[in-house]
């Protein structure tokens, strides 16, 4: 791997770290390895965002379930025979892990992956399924990275960085080349930022295009290191991160990706974890697409007020689908609440189970779905002659659910003592 300065590649000190030609070369290497993932236009999401049209670049359908195979393979395919013989090691929250593991399987290179404790079990199992050795070390990615880098120094293994590598960036940039061909109307692209490899690569590919495309980065509020860094003109790392989007839960960009992003990224917006959950829910419901939090973040931004998409033609990069089923279900439930279509309430019933049956019948009559209904532990403030119960209901929206709870409260022998309904 090169470090971007003058050297064996013949580039001068002032030359770009990654060029359009590098991305095109990567496309050639990946021709028989990575899928050309589809772009699906969505009238629903276009209307919700105010855009003239909106295209979803579904890297969730990529091999290994994310875009990471592009950069990992492009980097490893260029390793020397000695570097391959030494084996490779990397640190990853999961998606780069699978990319390196699959690339290692294809190229016949032994791979060791270090992942943080927050990595979903599905990603660990998939990585091992490609024949890689997986080590769980550290509570966040930075700790895993430190462990892997130290081990590489001791063992001589070749470290394949998830984003601080020009070859990795060039590989990720092939997403941008495909978008130019698949979505001719595109004038904006929304891309998640973790370490910055994907947006740096896509931005590089688009910067040399024959039309102007605005590049907008998206980060969760709990891992928003890019806005202060780009504003300050230097990398400003976070001390810690806190987000459901563990795939982009990085504390900083690298010097490589920061330098490139500073030239090719037009804006960065942030979204809340609840907005990400809502986007996960909508992708599953409207597109029948499973997305992890990091993959859904750009759609969350498109549906927020952060980027102005009025009459625009944005491409939304759904970068990955590697999420545990249980985690996806929890995100979807949170998303329903954020969308105003789920509510919880605590009831006081004059008798059980007679009034319980009345509650069930009323919820159904009001056109809502009873998600859960159970007796609750009594509290000191509860009426001693009433049975406490808790219910979860789903409906068409906040107004509908509020009406259902009002109908329950008006029943003889039933009182709604607490309610939680999100605003739409």
- pLDDT for residue 378: 92
Give the architecture-level CATH label for domain 340-421: 2-Layer Sandwich (3.30)
Taking a C-beta distance cutoff of 8 angstroms, is the pair 58, 37 a contact? yes
Catalytic residue among 68, 192, 229, 422: 68
Catalytic residue list contains 42: no
Catalytic residue list contains 420: no
Two domains, one topology: 68-166 and 340-421: no
The third-level CATH classification (topology) of the domain covering 68-166 is Rossmann fold (3.40.50)
Q: What is the pLDDT along the chain (424 residues), one digit of tens a residue?
A: 333 333 334 454 567 899 999 999 999 999 999 999 999 999 999 999 999 999 999 999 999 999 999 999 999 999 999 999 999 999 987 789 999 999 999 999 999 999 988 787 777 888 999 999 999 999 877 789 899 999 999 999 999 999 999 999 999 999 999 999 999 999 999 999 999 999 999 999 999 888 899 999 999 999 999 999 999 999 999 998 999 998 898 899 999 999 999 999 999 999 999 999 999 999 999 999 999 999 999 999 999 988 999 999 999 999 999 888 999 999 999 999 999 899 999 999 998 889 999 999 999 999 999 999 999 999 998 999 999 999 999 999 999 999 999 999 999 999 999 988 764 4
* CATH 3.40.50.1100 corresponds to the domain 20-66+168-336: yes
Catalytic residue among 42, 66, 200, 319: 319
- pLDDT for residue 141: 76
Domain positions in the chain: 20-66+168-336, 68-166, 340-421
- pLDDT for residue 4: 37
């Amino acid at each position: 791997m090169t470090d971007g300065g003058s050297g064996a590649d013949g580039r001068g000190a002032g030359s770009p770290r990654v060029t359009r030609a590098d991305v095109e070369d990567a496309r050639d290497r990946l021709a028989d390895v990575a899928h050309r993932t589809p772009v699906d236009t969505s009238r629903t999401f276009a209307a919700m965002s105010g855009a003239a049209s909106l295209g979803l670049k579904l890297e969730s359908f990529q091999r290994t379930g994310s875009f990471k195979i592009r950069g990992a393979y492009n980097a490893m395919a260029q390793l020397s025979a000695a570097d391959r013989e030494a084996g490779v090691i990397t640190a990853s929250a999961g998606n780069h892990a699978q990319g390196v593991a699959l690339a290692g399987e294809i190229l016949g290179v032994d791979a060791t992956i270090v992942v943080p404790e927050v990595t979903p079990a599905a990603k660990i199992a998939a990585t091992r399924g490609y024949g890689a050795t997986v080590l769980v070390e550290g509570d966040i990615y930075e700790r895993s990275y430190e462990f892997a880098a130290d081990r590489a120094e001791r063992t001589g293994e070749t470290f394949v960085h998830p984003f601080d590598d020009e070859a990795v960036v060039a590989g990720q940039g092939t997403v941008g080349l495909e978008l130019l061909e698949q979505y001719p109307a595109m004038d904006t692209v929304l891309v998640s930022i973790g370490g910055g490899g994907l947006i740096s690569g896509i931005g590089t590919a688009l910067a040399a295009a024959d039309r102007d495309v605005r590049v907008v980065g998206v980060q969760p509020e709990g891992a928003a290191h890019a806005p202060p860094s780009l504003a300050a003109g230097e990398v400003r790392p976070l001390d810690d991160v806190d987000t459901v989007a563990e795939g982009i839960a990085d504390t900083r960009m690298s010097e490589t990706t920061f330098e490139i992003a500073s030239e090719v990224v037009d804006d960065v917006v942030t979204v809340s974890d609840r907005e990400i959950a809502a986007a996960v829910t909508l992708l599953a419901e409207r597109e029948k697409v499973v997305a992890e939090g990091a993959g859904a973040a750009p759609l969350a931004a498109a549906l927020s007020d952060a980027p102005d998409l009025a009459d625009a033609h944005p491409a939304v990069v759904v970068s990955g689908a590697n999420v545990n089923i249980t985690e996806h279900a929890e995100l979807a439930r949170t998303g329903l609440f954020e969308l105003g279509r789920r509510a919880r309430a605590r009831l006081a019933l004059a008798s059980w189970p007679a009034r319980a049956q009345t509650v069930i019948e009323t919820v159904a009559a009001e056109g809502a779905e009873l998600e859960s209904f159970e007796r609750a532990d009594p509290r000191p403030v509860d009426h001693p002659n009433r049975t406490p119960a808790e219910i979860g209901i789903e409906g068409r929206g906040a107004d509908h659910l509020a009406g259902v709870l009002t109908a329950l409260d008006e029943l003889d022998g039933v009182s709604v003592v607490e309610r939680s309904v999100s605003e739409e």
